[in-house]
Every structure is written in structure tokens, then in C-alpha cells.
């Protein structure tokens, strides 16, 4: 009986050795990954950011297995794109990556170290280009103005200040701002309690008797100085 079992075992081993082919198993694995290679990158919701710039930065993920490519592999190369606020990534199996772009907005032209930059709603600075249209953006002057500009800009927005009528912003390093309106009227704001001063300025701008003043000075709390 033992002899018969040994013979059967040897026969089975012989069959296995004569039919075993490692290359076929490897081929199967390759075929499995072949069907999940990234072939398409779809970019949606973009206006300022060009699709070909996105796909160029992501060329390294083409032909990669979609199951193994991480979200960070996609987000990291796009991090420094101009006007990029954030992205959402979705994998569409078997071979497509969908990228939804959320863009920041250009809100001002900043003068820094004798150079011209665009500042966006996320406080990013970008090189100014004469080839792009910036919809009559206001100018922003003052050393280190980019550090506080978006904070001040958002305060104006939250208090319903007529931002579209602003021509120039002037920043002072004591954390104070002056604003020049389109009609050349200058409004001086304090370095503290800015929300209160902005609310007061909105009320004054709606009064006809303040239209003729060239300067509205709100730097001293509780006082209005005009010229």
C-alpha cells in the first residue's frame, strides 16, 4: 500500500513539473495590471488653469496602475499651479482619473521690490503678465502688504464695503491701510478695530454731504476728521 502511494505521489509531482510555467503566471499578473492602467485624465471646472498644464504635470501617472496611484501622487505635482485653490480627485475605473479644479480669484496687483505681481484670494503671489486680462484690478502698495491684504480685503467684503470702487490700497507696516476710491477720495483706517471703522466708512460713503471731502480720516476711534 505504501508503495502504491509513493508511486501516485511521484506521478503527481511529475505532472506538476512538466506543466508548471512561471512565465504564464507572470503573464497573468501583467494582464491583470494591464486592464487597470491609467489611460485618461479628465479635467473639469477649470477656467484660468489650462488642461494641458495639468496633464503635463501628471504625465508620470499615465500607464500606472490606477489601484496603486495615490491621491497624493496626483495632488503634489499640481500644488504650485497659479490660481489653484484646491482639487478633488476621483478614480473612474478601469482607466480614468477625474480631476475637479477649484480656482482662486485674482484680487489685486501688488508692487513688490520694483516688480509687479498678481495676488489671489488665497494670498498667493504670481508674476504679472500683460497677456492676461485682470478686470481692472486695484493696485496694492506698501512693503509686506501681501501679508495682510487678504485679511483686510475679506473685512471689507464682510462689511459690504463697495470694493469695486477702490482704485488703490496703501499699506503701512503698523498694520494700517488707506484706500483711494475711483473718485480720488482717500479713506484712512486705524490699525485696530478695523471692522468698526469699515462699517462707519460705509455709512459715510452713503451720505451725500461726504461726497465732496477729499479725505475721510477714521484713524482715531470715535472721531471723524475730514478735509
pLDDT in tens, 98-146: 999 999 999 999 998 888 999 999 899 988 876 666 778 999 999 999 9
- Which residue from 193, 201, 202 is spatially nearest to 221, judged by alpha carbons? 193
User: Is residue 49 a contact partner of residue 82, using CB atoms and an 8 Å limit?
Assistant: yes
**Alpha-carbon distance 191 to 178, whole Å?**
10
pLDDT in the model for residue 48: 87
**Alpha-carbon distance 161 to 216, whole Å?**
15
pLDDT digits (tens), the chain, 227 positions: 555 545 544 454 444 444 444 444 444 444 445 578 999 999 999 998 999 999 999 999 999 999 999 999 999 999 889 899 999 999 999 999 999 999 999 999 999 888 899 999 989 998 887 666 677 899 999 999 999 999 999 999 999 999 999 999 999 999 999 999 999 999 999 999 999 999 999 999 999 988 889 999 999 998 999 99
pLDDT in the model for residue 2: 52
pLDDT in the model for residue 26: 42
C-alpha dihedral sign at 141, 115, 104, 76: negative
pLDDT in the model for residue 203: 95
User: What are the structural domains, with CATH classification, of the chain?
Assistant: 2-33 (no CATH), 35-103 (3.10.20.310), 106-226 (3.40.50.11690)
pLDDT in the model for residue 13: 47
* CA atoms lying within 13 Å on the CB side of residue 51: 9
Amino acid at each position: 500500500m505504501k508503495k502504491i502511494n509513493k508511486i501516485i505521489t511521484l506521478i503527481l509531482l511529475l505532472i506538476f513539473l512538466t506543466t508548471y510555467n512561471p512565465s504564464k503566471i507572470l503573464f497573468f499578473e501583467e494582464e491583470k495590471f494591464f486592464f487597470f492602467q491609467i489611460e485618461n485624465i479628465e479635467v473639469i471646472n477649470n477656467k484660468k488653469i489650462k488642461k494641458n498644464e495639468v496633464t503635463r504635470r501628471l504625465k508620470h501617472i499615465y500607464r500606472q496602475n490606477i489601484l496603486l496611484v495615490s491621491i497624493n501622487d496626483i495632488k503634489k505635482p499640481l500644488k504650485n499651479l497659479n490660481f489653484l485653490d484646491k482639487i478633488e480627485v476621483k478614480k473612474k475605473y478601469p482607466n480614468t482619473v477625474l480631476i475637479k479644479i477649484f480656482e482662486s480669484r485674482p484680487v489685486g496687483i501688488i508692487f513688490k521690490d520694483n516688480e509687479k505681481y498678481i495676488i489671489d484670494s488665497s494670498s498667493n503671489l504670481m508674476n504679472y503678465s500683460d497677456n492676461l486680462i485682470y478686470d481692472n484690478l486695484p493696485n496694492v502698495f506698501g512693503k509686506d502688504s501681501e501679508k495682510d491684504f487678504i485679511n483686510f480685503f475679506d473685512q471689507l467684503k464682510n462689511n459690504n464695503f463697495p470694493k469695486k470702487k477702490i482704485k488703490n490700497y496703501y499699506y503701512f507696516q503698523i498694520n494700517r491701510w488707506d484706500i483711494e476710491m475711483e473718485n480720488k477720495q482717500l479713506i484712512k483706517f486705524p490699525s485696530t478695530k478695523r471692522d468698526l471703522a469699515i462699517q462707519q466708512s460705509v455709512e459715510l460713503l452713503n451720505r451725500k454731504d461726504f461726497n465732496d471731502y477729499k479725505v475721510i480720516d477714521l484713524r482715531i476711534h470715535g472721531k471723524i476728521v475730514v478735509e
